[in-house]
Amino acid sequence: MAVAGARRGTKGKLRAAAREWAFARAGRSDPQLPTKIDSDLVAQWAQLGVTVEADDDDEAIAVWRINWQSVMAFLRCETQWRAVPVAVGDGSRLIWIGIDYASAKPVYARRNRGEERRLFDDICVMEHAALEAMGEIDQ
């Protein structure tokens, strides 16, 4: 993730970072993002006789500087997710419940109540986006 800007705005960057985390954790790419043309795709197209150029874009999600603390707090909550195993056919899968906030409190607790509230709110936004992405992964 790259740091960008310094103004506080909508929570879109936080949601994007959380989705990226959820899909990366599952070893998958976010289907909502456009496909990046890498060297492997260039070679596949070349076999078909088509010339395409690889994307040079950095794949990092841009995170506004003002959100950096929130993203880092969310990432530090990674071990505090709660899930329930359920039987599916001959196997099982996990149903993700969310972050255990009592266990994660040291991550977002601050002396300044306003800052604590902002961090908690941002973690909640990211948790919701990650849960949504995890639901898409399981489908």
Q: For residue 1, what are the CA distances in angstroms to 59, 68, 75, 116, 134?
A: 8, 10, 12, 23, 20
45 is in which domain, residue-wise? 2-137
Q: What is the pLDDT of residues 56-76, one digit of tens each?
A: 665 667 788 888 999 999 999
Going by pLDDT thresholds of 50, 70 and 90, the confidence category of residue 6 is very low
Q: Average pLDDT in the 107-125 region?
A: 91
In the predicted structure, residue 5 carries a pLDDT above the cut 50: no
pLDDT at residue number 25: 87
The owner of tokens 């800007």 is 5
The closest alpha carbon to 104, from 69, 134, 79, 132, belongs to 79
Of residues 24 and 4, which shows the higher confidence score? 24
pLDDT band of residue 7 (cuts 50, 70, 90) is very low
The domain tally of the chain equals 1
